[in-house]
């Protein structure tokens, strides 16, 4: 039945549906809330708030409190431990997702169900429909750098894996990809392989085997694409040799992956020569992706927020090929689709789908009385304002603070178009200073410009607040693509310090209430170790986001960074 529907998937129909939904966004939101509360009103969680069957937004907001993951942790844990009673949802939850937990340093559990899968497909189809108008693709394949995480059973026997894994494993996902004419060119054995280094190698090899058919190069988050082509730079000759001889590299040891790959791999001298010549002819790998995949139409993945620092490198690999940002959501639930695919990632906005959840927006500006403003509904947001987003989902989260800050950049019919700004929580703060992930990103961008003359780049970065010194100070960790002179690094360090223009920081620096910023250069490969560590905790590479600040309690990461630090510089900017 599903198969039939998917075969008939008509992008124009999807757009018509989306237009209808967004024209009545306010009304659809009320209906969606009503549906969520009708389905789940009898749950233990909602019963305690005295809704007494009422499903209107006013009662809902008055009765049910705003929460964070911490408030729901015990409920979710009980579900994971096998409590069969309706705890958070009317229908039993059978699957748990692990969110990347970038901020906490540990993946956290969130409920997953069919409705979430449905909304994922709705989001995929919606953005695809708009994308396909501008960048049509014909029958082809997608080189998707996607990786399943380890799946395990919770104590109560529920399947647990990252949200992306729960989606990729589902037959519905594959059918939708097929209907979009972009099935993944890698077999399941590669996507779900137990060793992501081997999976990555095989993804690259599959891409090369099907190089003429590849129309889209994608991943969930742009980091995975950049990571893949950085790896390509290291292993390309081995890949070419595999294609030349039709023999799989000995680095792939997982039996299921080997046999799946051997079914695809045939000796192809001509193709091997072409790839070899293409790669040899590139200057510093500029335009690598279109050189490898001549029929690729675009590169696709989430490129906003913490992915922005990888854009420069991605553009380098992409050459003239368009790079398109994917949609906005989280393991907790999807929120919005990119329906303006032509916008460059820096300007991308996401249109909220009003029927996939109930959304509230907490204005960021603080009230005169110092109290946090009350959240407003989707139909009440104001153009140009910034908000923290609050979600109520079909999967048992009610008035849940996601921790993301978005800005209203416009409207698609009556639904807001959001720009992702940053995570709400402060990254760097010692006393009265306040710096977010975005502030750090801008400081790093400014300082990295000083490396251009030495033809170097910041491969990745993170930060830490060191309060073991008196006064405390910011530490920024950089992995560089090569070795820079001490003089340049000192300048970068001073520039970083000066680039935090928050008044609290500048004032504290001037009065030495905050010590000199420290820039530590770490060895090449350090951020790979961080990725490995994350994967070891059960995370999936597909959802990996480099933590931009490592807290004192995240001792393993801190150890990796400190152990791998090769040089350290202290700012003299305020001397």
User: Is 328 a binder of ligand AMP (CB under 6 A)?
Assistant: yes
Tokens standing for 456? 């170097």
User: Is 99 a binder of ligand AMP (CB under 6 A)?
Assistant: yes
3-state SS assignment for residue 469: coil
Q: Which helix (H) or strand (E) element contains residue 171?
A: helix 171-179
Nearer Cβ to ligand AMP (202/337): 337
Instruction: Compute the least distance from the CB of residue 175 to ligand AMP, in Å.
Output: 23
Nearer Cβ to ligand AMP (285/328): 328
354 vs 30: CA distance, rounded Å? 9
Instruction: Compute the least distance from the CB of residue 392 to ligand AMP, in Å.
Output: 15
Residue nearest to ligand AMP (CB): 305
The piece of 112-120, 299-307, 516-524, 546-554 that touches ligand AMP (CB under 6 A) is 299-307
The piece of 326-334, 363-371, 503-511, 518-526 that touches ligand AMP (CB under 6 A) is 326-334
Given the DSSP bridges, would you call strands 328-330 and 333-337 parallel, antiparallel or unpaired? antiparallel
Nearer Cβ to ligand AMP (131/423): 423
Nearer Cβ to ligand AMP (305/354): 305
Letters for 305-324 (x = contact with ligand AMP by CB under 6 A, - = none) are x-------------------
User: Is 120 a binder of ligand AMP (CB under 6 A)?
Assistant: no
Instruction: Compute the least distance from the CB of residue 462 to ligand AMP, in Å.
Output: 16
Tokens standing for 417? 């178009």
Pick the binder of ligand AMP from 29, 218, 331, 393 (CB under 6 A): 331
User: Is 304 a binder of ligand AMP (CB under 6 A)?
Assistant: yes
User: Buried b / exposed e across 404-440, counting CB within 10 Å, b at 16+?
Assistant: bbbbbbebbebbbbbbbbbbbeebbbbeebebbbbbb
Q: How many other β-carbons are positioned within 10 Å of the β-carbon of residue 527?
A: 23
Nearer Cβ to ligand AMP (144/198): 144
Concatenating the DSSP letter of every residue in 57-91 gives: HHHHHHHSPPB-HHHHHHHHHHHHTT--S-SS-SS
The piece of 139-147, 298-306, 436-444, 501-509 that touches ligand AMP (CB under 6 A) is 298-306
Instruction: Compute the least distance from the CB of residue 162 to ligand AMP, in Å.
Output: 7
Classify residue 485 by its DSSP letter: P
Residue 369 has phi, psi (to 5 degrees) of: -80, 5
Nearer Cβ to ligand AMP (100/181): 100
Nearer Cβ to ligand AMP (99/441): 99
Sorted by sequence, the CB contacts under 8 Å of residue 91 that are 6+ apart come out as 39, 113
How far CA 428 is from CA of 69, 389, 434, 435, 573, in Å, comes to 22, 22, 6, 5, 19
Contact 416, 389 (CB under 8 A): no
Task: Provide the CA 202 distance to its chain's centre, in angstroms.
Answer: 22
The piece of 178-186, 243-251, 256-264, 297-305 that touches ligand AMP (CB under 6 A) is 297-305
Classify residue 465 by its DSSP letter: E
Instruction: Compute the least distance from the CB of residue 330 to ligand AMP, in Å.
Output: 3
Nearer Cβ to ligand AMP (99/181): 99
Which burial class, exposed, middle or buried, applies to 315 when counting CB atoms under 10 A from its CB (0-12, 13-18, 19+)? middle
Sorted by sequence, the CB contacts under 8 Å of residue 108 that are 6+ apart come out as 69, 73, 98, 99, 101
Instruction: Compute the least distance from the CB of residue 190 to ligand AMP, in Å.
Output: 21
Instruction: Compute the least distance from the CB of residue 333 to ligand AMP, in Å.
Output: 9
Beta partners for residue 575, in sequence order: none
Nearer Cβ to ligand AMP (305/472): 305
Q: Please give the residues from 124 up to 183 whose contact with ligand AMP meets the rule CB under 6 A.
A: none
3-state SS assignment for residue 410: strand
Nearer Cβ to ligand AMP (305/416): 305
477 vs 312: CA distance, rounded Å? 19
502 vs 77: CA distance, rounded Å? 40
362 vs 226: CA distance, rounded Å? 34
Sorted by sequence, the CB contacts under 8 Å of residue 318 that are 6+ apart come out as 287, 289, 290, 299
User: Is 258 a binder of ligand AMP (CB under 6 A)?
Assistant: no
Nearer Cβ to ligand AMP (242/404): 404
Letters for 192-211 (x = contact with ligand AMP by CB under 6 A, - = none) are --------------------
Nearer Cβ to ligand AMP (30/388): 388
3-state SS assignment for residue 571: coil
257 vs 201: CA distance, rounded Å? 11
Instruction: Compute the least distance from the CB of residue 100 to ligand AMP, in Å.
Output: 3
Pick the binder of ligand AMP from 429, 543, 554, 571 (CB under 6 A): 543
How far CA 202 is from CA of 119, 217, 399, in Å, comes to 30, 15, 42
Concatenating the DSSP letter of every residue in 543-556 gives: G----SS--TT-HH
Contacts with ligand AMP: how many residues (CB under 6 A)?
A: 14
Instruction: Compute the least distance from the CB of residue 224 to ligand AMP, in Å.
Output: 12
Nearer Cβ to ligand AMP (113/494): 113
Which position has the token pair 């129309």? Answer: 215
Pick the binder of ligand AMP from 290, 329, 354, 547 (CB under 6 A): 329
Nearer Cβ to ligand AMP (401/520): 401
Instruction: Compute the least distance from the CB of residue 221 to ligand AMP, in Å.
Output: 8
Instruction: Compute the least distance from the CB of residue 129 to ligand AMP, in Å.
Output: 18
Nearer Cβ to ligand AMP (45/420): 420
Q: Please give the residues from 385 up to 414 whose contact with ligand AMP meets the rule CB under 6 A.
A: 402, 404
The binding site for ligand AMP (CB under 6 A) comprises 99-100, 302, 304-305, 328-331, 402, 404, 420, 423, 543
């Amino acid at each position: 039945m599903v198969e039939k529907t998917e075969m008939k998937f008509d992008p124009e129909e999807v757009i018509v549906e989306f237009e209808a939904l967004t024209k009545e966004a306010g009304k659809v939101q009320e209906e969606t809330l009503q549906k969520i509360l009708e389905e789940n009103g009898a749950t233990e969680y909602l019963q305690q708030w005295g809704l007494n069957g009422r499903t209107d937004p006013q009662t809902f907001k008055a009765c049910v409190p705003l929460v964070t993951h911490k408030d729901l942790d015990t409920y979710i844990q009980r579900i994971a431990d096998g409590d069969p009673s309706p705890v958070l949802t009317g229908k039993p939850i059978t699957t748990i997702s692990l969110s990347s937990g970038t901020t906490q340093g540990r993946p956290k559990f969130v409920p997953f169900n069919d409705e979430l899968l449905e909304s994922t497909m709705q989001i995929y189809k919606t953005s695809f429909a708009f994308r396909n108008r501008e960048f049509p693709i014909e029958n082809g394949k997608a080189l998707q750098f996607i990786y399943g995480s380890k799946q395990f059973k919770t104590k109560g026997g529920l399947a647990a894996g990252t949200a992306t894994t729960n989606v990729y494993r589902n037959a519905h996902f594959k059918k939708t990809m097929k209907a979009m004419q972009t099935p993944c060119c890698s077999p399941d054995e590669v996507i779900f392989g137990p060793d992501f280094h081997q999976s990555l190698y095989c993804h690259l090899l599959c891409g090369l085997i099907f190089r003429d058919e590849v129309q889209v190069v994608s991943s969930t988050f742009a980091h995975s694409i950049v990571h893949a082509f950085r790896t390509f730079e290291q292993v390309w000759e081995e890949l070419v040799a595999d294609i030349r001889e039709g023999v799989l590299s000995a680095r792939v040891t997982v039996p299921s992956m080997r046999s799946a790959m051997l079914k695809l791999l045939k000796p192809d001298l001509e193709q091997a020569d072409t790839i070899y010549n293409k790669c040899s002819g590139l200057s510093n790998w500029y335009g690598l992706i279109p050189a490898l995949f001549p029929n690729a139409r675009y590169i696709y993945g989430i490129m906003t927020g913490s992915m922005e620092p990888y854009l420069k490198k991605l553009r380098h690999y992409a050459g003239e090929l368009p790079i398109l940002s994917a949609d906005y959501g989280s393991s907790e639930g999807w929120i919005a689709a990119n329906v303006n695919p032509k916008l460059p990632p820096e300007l991308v906005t996401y249109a909220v789908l009003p029927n996939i959840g109930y959304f509230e927006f907490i204005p960021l500006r603080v009230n005169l009385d110092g109290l946090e403003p009350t959240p407003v509904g989707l139909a009440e947001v104001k153009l140009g304002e910034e908000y923290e987003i609050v979600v109520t989902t079909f999967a048992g989260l009610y008035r849940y603070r996601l921790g993301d800050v978005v800005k209203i950049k416009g409207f698609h019919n009556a639904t807001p178009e959001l720009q992702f700004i940053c995570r709400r929580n402060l990254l760097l703060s010692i006393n009265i200073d306040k710096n977010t992930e975005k502030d750090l990103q801008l400081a790093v961008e400014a300082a990295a410009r000083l490396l251009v003359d030495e033809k170097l780049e910041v491969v990745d970065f993170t930060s830490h607040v060191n309060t073991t010194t008196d006064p405390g100070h910011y530490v920024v960790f950089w992995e560089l693509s090569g070795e820079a002179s001490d003089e340049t690094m000192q300048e970068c360090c001073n520039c970083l310090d000066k680039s935090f223009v928050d008044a609290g920081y500048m004032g504290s620096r001037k009065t030495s209430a905050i010590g000199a910023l420290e820039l530590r250069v770490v060895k090449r490969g350090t951020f790979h170790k961080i990725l490995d560590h994350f994967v070891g905790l059960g995370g999936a590479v597909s959802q990996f986001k480099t933590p931009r600040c490592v807290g004192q309690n995240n001792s393993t990461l801190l150890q990796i960074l400190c152990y791998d630090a090769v040089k350290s510089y202290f700012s003299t900017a305020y001397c």
